[in-house]
Amino acid sequence: MQFIEALKLRSKLLFLFLLVTIGLFSVGIIGALNIDSMKKNLDSLYFGSLVPVVELNKILQIYHGNITNTIYKAKNASISNSQVSSQIQNALMKVKYQWRSYESHFKRDGELQYVEYAASEIKDTNAYFENILLGILNGNELKNISIVNFEKQMEHIHSTIKKLINYEVEVAKYERKKFLKIYESVMLNVGIILLLVILGILIISFYVFKSIQDDHTKLEITTKKLQRANKKLENVSYTDVLTSLHNRRYFNFIYDRELKRAKRTKSYITFMMLDIDFFKQYNDTYGHIEGDFALKSVAKVLKDSLQRPSDYVFRLGGEEFGVILIDTDESNSAKLARDICDAIRGRKIKHETSTVNDYLTISIGIVCCIADEALNEDILISRADEMLYKAKDGGRDGYTITTNISESTTKVEEEKGA
């Protein structure tokens, strides 16, 4: 059933995907066609007006800049005849190049006649300067050049080219107005089509998404129920039912994780192994119900005494408990152990068959060290177990602590709790 529902959801999503794809594809084609049309108009505007104006202005600049300056310098005899000849020749070559480039652009029928006229005037002007060059070759003095004739020639060619520039500018203005009209029309059409497509997609998508949302809501509710169930199962699998402490399974996970972390950071790690003194005799004397109460009481003391996020308390089995402490040195670990012993004794749970005290007591074996890569994973547990037996052999109702994690020695530091 879930498989069929999943297929339905996928089909709806596929349909929506195809719909959006087709809509966007249509908009893309329309946009591409219109953008191409706009590009042609832009090309016409740019190459038909801007570049020609630049080229004509360059021709004017050559006439009024390079050639005029050269003539005036020659008139004043400030440059030699060879320099004059070279500079004028280079300038005329540039003029011819720019004019050929200008003529190569698209020309409308209405402007061809004036372009031909301007070409003949430029040709005559160039011929005027070529005659000057010929005179230089024949040894004529440049001082004898008539400035009046020269200025008339320059004024005439300036007027001719300026009229051509003004015409190109007017054409650009006309093309711009024409382009703006086409552009506005195209944008209006694209906007209308795009709006219709979007509205269509939105309307259909609304119903598709509504259906998907309904399915998603049902799936979300089911998922939350499943997550709650999984959480309960996880808690059950990691929690001791009687004491609500973490169980042996969770201890294995935390012990491995925290030991690796301590090795990485080269920090303190402490492991305590705790055992209720003469618990078998307690059960035999008071019964299992009271025995369970005693276990719960010990668990509560451990919870109340160890409340940092880095303190982990476990029931390892029977009357045996375990504690993992992170970033806690030897003195603080010993103080916590002493406080735990005092707190359990302070609850005054009657234990008549104990040979240590009239009340319930506990023995603790502790290993505290700075972890490094050489630290064996099993040594903390084995050394804590040794310390627990040392505490029991030393009279119980107390703790024994060591910082020696060597497997080849049994030397320990002992301290009997009060």
Label residue 410 exposed, middle or buried (CB < 10 Å: 0-12, 13-18, 19+). Answer: exposed
How confident is the model over 121-176, as pLDDT tens digits? Answer: 888 888 888 888 887 777 766 666 778 888 888 888 888 888 888 887 887 777 77
The whole-number pLDDT of residue 13 equals 64
Q: Mean pLDDT lowest for which of 37-46, 72-81, 190-199, 224-233?
A: 37-46
Alpha helices by DSSP H, 46-137: 51-61, 68-75, 81-104, 109-137
CA nearest neighbour of 103 among 156, 59, 153 = 59
Mean pLDDT value across residues 389-412: 80
Q: Two tokens at 191?
A: 């906007």
The pLDDT, as a whole number, for residue 233 is 63
Number of neighbours of residue 65 by Cβ within 10 angstroms: 12
DSSP state string for 342-353: HHHHHT--B-TT
pLDDT of residue 12: 66
Q: Which residues contact 255 (CB under 8 A, 6 or more apart)?
A: 271, 324, 381
- Between the alpha carbon of residue 252 and those of residues 211, 249, 256, 314, 397, the distances in Å are 47, 5, 6, 10, 27
| pLDDT computed for residue 34 by the predictor | 67
Q: Which residues participate in catalysis according to the annotation?
A: 319
Q: What's this model's pTM, rounded to 2 decimal places?
A: 0.48
For residue 381, count other CB atoms closer than 10 A to its CB. 17
User: Is the model more confident about 45 or about 179?
Assistant: 179
User: Mean per-residue pLDDT for 174-187?
Assistant: 78
Is residue 59 scored above 60 in pLDDT?
Answer: yes
For position 416, what pLDDT does the model report?
40
Task: Return the CATH number of 248-402, one of 3.30.70.270, 3.40.50.10800, 1.10.10.10, 3.40.50.300.
Answer: 3.30.70.270
CA distance 270 to 301: 18
Look at the block and give the residue holding tokens 């020609």: 52
Q: Is 10 or 178 the better-scoring residue by pLDDT? A: 178
Query: Which residues are CB-contacts of 391 (< 8 A; sequence separation ≥ 6)?
Result: 363, 364, 365, 398, 399, 400
